[in-house]
Amino acid sequence: MGISTTRIETETVPGEAIVHERSAKPCALVIFGATGDLARRKLVPALYNLMKDGLLPEGFELVGVGRSAHDRDAFVAMHT
């Protein structure tokens, strides 16, 4: 597992770009209420888009906590 680097270019003066590089270490995100409506409609799709665009760090883990018990396959089916 490595550290992913995101390159960000900003322009403060026309024609002069300032480049910043940010590194993100592996991390985990816990969603409380992962089986609820907000997670299904907003949070999980946003995380999917970040992953698809390569903006999540290597080693990113998602932990979902909800009142109803689901195995991984049921949870994925609920969010697709």
pLDDT tens digit string along 28-64? 999 999 989 999 999 999 999 999 988 888 899 999 9
12 pLDDT more than 80: no
Mean per-residue pLDDT of the chain: 82
Distance (Å, whole) CA 79 – CA 41: 8
Q: Where are the domains of the chain?
A: 25-78
pTM for the predicted model, two decimal places: 0.65
